[in-house]
Amino acid sequence: MRELLIATGNSGKLKEMVSALGNVPFSIKFLPDCPEGVRRDVEETGSTFEENAILKARTYGDRSGLLTLAEDSGLEVAALGGRPGVYSARYAGGSDEDRYRKLLGELEDVLAEDRGARFRAVVAIYDPKTGAVFITQGNCEGVITYEPMGEGGFGYDPVFYSNELKKTGAQMTVDEKNTISHRGRAMRAARDILLAEFA
């Protein structure tokens, strides 16, 4: 059974990625369990989600020698010209709440009909044996609320209201979120590639 490294240190992302991947015929390895030389952070210098996902997959894959899956994702808000985008996790210093509070502040005077947003995720699968890279993507459309709602999720979930489920990401279960989320969609497509190419 081939080993597959899921290259994220973000516990919220990891939970969603493993759930969306489901039962696959691989021995799953997690970044926090890898030696220090493998798991040290990779600087996300790309200007797009795809560039960052590939950068992380290749770097962690080359360090570990394992088939590696990495993801980059973020929130794009129409009224802010697509920001925070690739800088979603670094949009403000401090906590997730600090970041979504900054976002709400910037949208304070924006009308409800102009608060459209989408989450985007790009997953990269890298095989260090061949150098092959496979890419999948997923989007989730919604709007930014005026106040946070819900206790679950992470990141911008409390202020992102799904057009499909009619609730915020923080009000969804992990299973609900995976059915419609950008990450869930990208991961299901990645699962298909893993099974077709590597199982």
Q: Which two tokens stand for residue 151?
A: 């206790």
Most distant pair of Cα atoms in the chain: their distance: 55
The answer to whether 72 is a known catalytic residue is: yes
- Tell me the C-alpha distance between 158 and 170, whole Å: 5
Helix (H) or strand (E) holding 50: helix 49-64
121-159: burial string, b at 16+ Cβ within 10 Å, e else: bbbbbbbbeeeeebbbbbebebbbbeebbbebbebbbbb
Q: State the catalytic residue, choosing from 72, 98, 127, 157.
A: 72
120 φ/ψ angles, rounded to the nearest 5 degrees: -125, 140
How many other β-carbons are positioned within 10 Å of the β-carbon of residue 44?
17
Q: Which two tokens stand for residue 96?
A: 């997730």
Q: Which two tokens stand for residue 108?
A: 């304070």
- Tell me the C-alpha distance between 158 and 110, whole Å: 18
- Tell me the C-alpha distance between 41 and 56, whole Å: 9
Return the active site residues: 72
